[in-house]
Amino acid sequence: MMRSLFAIGLLVLCSSAFAAEKTQALDGASFGNTWPLTFEKATISCVNGVYAFVYDTATDNRYPLNGMASSAVKSGKMEGYDLDTVWK
């Protein structure tokens, strides 16, 4: 369910108006027990309409949310950390 909500949010974020990077702040408190991350405040980002990331706003660490972002991180093209380390 939560992955679906994240996916819908990313779809809207990535498909709206063209820009280098679009962001949306999220607060775990508004999701209650369904919040899927180990940190409470996050920002979802869509870079160039292709790369989707979630940022831990306390540490500024970013985690890839889609295959394109994961591939870019694994190849060293972009910086990021493994999402599984912060996924509940």
- pLDDT tens by residue, 19-51: 577 899 999 999 999 999 999 999 999 988 899
Q: Which residue has the higher pLDDT, 80 or 88?
A: 80
Please give the Cα distance from 80 to 1 (Å, whole number). 24
Is 58 exposed, middle or buried (CB count within 10 Å of its CB: 0-12, 13-18, 19+)? exposed
Find where tokens 């394109």 sit: 68
Max Cα distance, the chain (Å) = 35
- pLDDT surpassing 60 at residue 88: yes
Contact 86, 37 (CB under 8 A): yes
Domain boundary assignment for the chain: 2-85
Condensed to tens digits (0 to 9), the pLDDT of residues 64-84 reads 999 999 999 999 999 999 999
Which of 71, 27, 59, 64 is CA-nearest to residue 46?
Answer: 64
**Residue-level pLDDT at 49:** 87
- Please state whether the predicted TM-score (pTM) of the whole model is above 0.85: no
pLDDT score, position 29:
93
